[in-house]
Amino acid sequence: MDSAKGPACKKLSLYGSEFDSRFLIGSAQYPSPAILLDAITASHAGIVTVSLRREAGKDGAGQQFWSLIQQSGARLLPNTAGCKTVKEAVNTAHMARELFDTRWIKLEVIGEDDTLQPDVFGLVEAARILCAEGFQVFPYTTDDLVVADKLLAAGCEVLMPWGSPIGSGRGLNNPFALRALRAHFPDTTLVVDAGIGLPSQTTQAMELGYDAILLNTAVAKAGDPVAMARAFAQAIEAGRLAFLAGAIEARDMAAPSTPVLGSPFWHSEHEQ
Amino acid sequence: MKIQLNGASHDTEHPDLAALVAALGHEGDKVATAIDGLFVARQNRSQSPLNEGCAVEIVAPMEGG
């Protein structure tokens, strides 16, 4: 149960680093910087996603954000959000590596604007380039098995399939595909990334055996982001505990939970 | 010469990227750079000349999901 890798290990393992929490939280769209920090604290997340922006002037927003996010004490996972080509994603990854002093990169290559669906062809190519250059790539991908296989062949040790489109709050659009992915890659760290709206949806993903959850909007845009961060933390932990505990198989017909052997009356009444 | 700086037209007489970054007050800042879509590492900025019409990106940390 405590092997170094795979869904049953005790701590979350990402490229050799271990984390107590299985919650990765985004840093965008919060009502205020203070609420962002409080939400991170409430989430107990050990990893926070960040990004890059054009810096407008001296002492601009970027420098202020850098000072703020360092206060969280969390490990930073920069992304390549907004990139639509391999070239953009690779060069953004290089900028992120220098800026945040990390080999970690959440690799996004977007192929379609309405759904923000990954361009999986560009994703695999960019992953291959970046892994060869020493990056530790966290690819934001679909739940496609073949693409997952090619990302692993490219050198990725972590896969991050979407639950549903980014920011949609729809939860797990295709639990069957996510279950198949888990079954096909039992020793790969799998993180559901994107589309989560409710804590119960993260419980569902964790019950499927997923290793962790990455989400942003469902906390940041909640009426009370700090309380919602706490709710997600507990839901993720509940799902993990349920997965480790081993769920019963669903069945079509009832099965009495109270033992019937030795019941005093009803057998004899029905036999009359 | 005219260059594109973070997507906007910008006049500069600075010969290289390091000089431009310093002139904009970002020398000690947490920024990363690119010219014409290609990353330029901090230590290479002074060897990266600016040319008429080139596109310079200067980026900084921001919130992200």
Q: What is the interface pTM, i.e. ipTM, of the complex? A: 0.95
Rounded to 5 degrees, what angle do the CA atoms A152, A157, A159 make?
75
Q: How far is B39 from chain A (nearest CA, A)?
A: 5
Q: How far is A183 from chain B (nearest CA, A)?
A: 27
B41 to A100: CB separation less than 8 angstroms, yes or no? no
DSSP string covering A209-220: T--EEEE-HHHH
Q: How far is B50 from chain A (nearest CA, A)?
A: 18
Q: How far is A27 from chain B (nearest CA, A)?
A: 5
Show Cβ contacts of residue A202 under 8 Å, excluding neighbours closer than 6 positions: A192, A196, A213, A215, A232, A235, A236, A239
- Chain A residue with the nearest C-alpha to that of B38: A91
Q: A interface mutation test: which of B30, B33, B44, B58 has the most A CBs within 10 A? A: B30
> Pick from B34, B60, B64: which is nearest to A55 by CB?
B60
Domain containing residue B38: CATH number: 3.10.20.30
Question: How far apart are the C-alpha atoms of B59 and A52, rounded to whole Å?
Answer: 6
For residues B15-38, give the mean pLDDT. 94
Q: What is the pLDDT of residue A25?
A: 98
Mean residue pLDDT of chain B comes to 95
| In a domain? residue B65 | no
DSSP string covering A196-242: --SHHHHHHHHHTT--EEEE-HHHHTSSSHHHHHHHHHHHHHHHHHH
Name the token pair of A51. 């990004």
- Tens of pLDDT, residue by residue over B49-64, are 999 999 999 999 999 9
Q: What is the pLDDT of residue A57?
A: 66
Calculate the CA dihedral of residues A180, A6, A93, A196 and round it to 10 degrees.
50
List of chain A residues with pLDDT < 50: 1-7
CB atoms near residue A108 (< 10 Å): 29
Q: What is the pLDDT of residue A1?
A: 40
Q: Provide the whole-model pTM.
A: 0.91
Question: How far apart are the C-alpha atoms of B46 and A144, rounded to whole Å?
Answer: 45
Distances (CA, A) of A53 to A65, A85, A113, B35: 11, 17, 19, 15
B31 to A55: CB separation less than 8 angstroms, yes or no? yes
| In a domain? residue B10 | yes
> Pick from B7, B38, B61: which is nearest to A99 by CB?
B61
- CA B56 to chain CA centroid, nearest Å: 4
| In a domain? residue B55 | yes
Q: What is the pLDDT of residue A248?
A: 92
| In a domain? residue B64 | no
- Chain A residue with the nearest C-alpha to that of B43: A98
- Chain B residue with the nearest C-alpha to that of A24: B65
Domain that holds residue B8: 2-59
- Chain B CB contacts of A79 below 8 Å: 64-65
- Tens of pLDDT, residue by residue over A54-96, are 987 666 788 899 999 999 999 999 999 999 999 999 999 999 9
A91 to B6: CB separation less than 8 angstroms, yes or no? no
- Chain A CB contacts of B37 below 8 Å: 87-88, 91
Q: What is the pLDDT of residue A261?
A: 79
Q: What is the pLDDT of residue B28?
A: 85
Residue A116, phi then psi, degrees to nearest 5: 50, 35
Name the token pair of A104. 């970690």
Q: Is B7 on the interface with A (CB under 8 A)?
A: yes
Q: What is the pLDDT of residue A70?
A: 93
Q: How many domains does chain B have?
A: 1
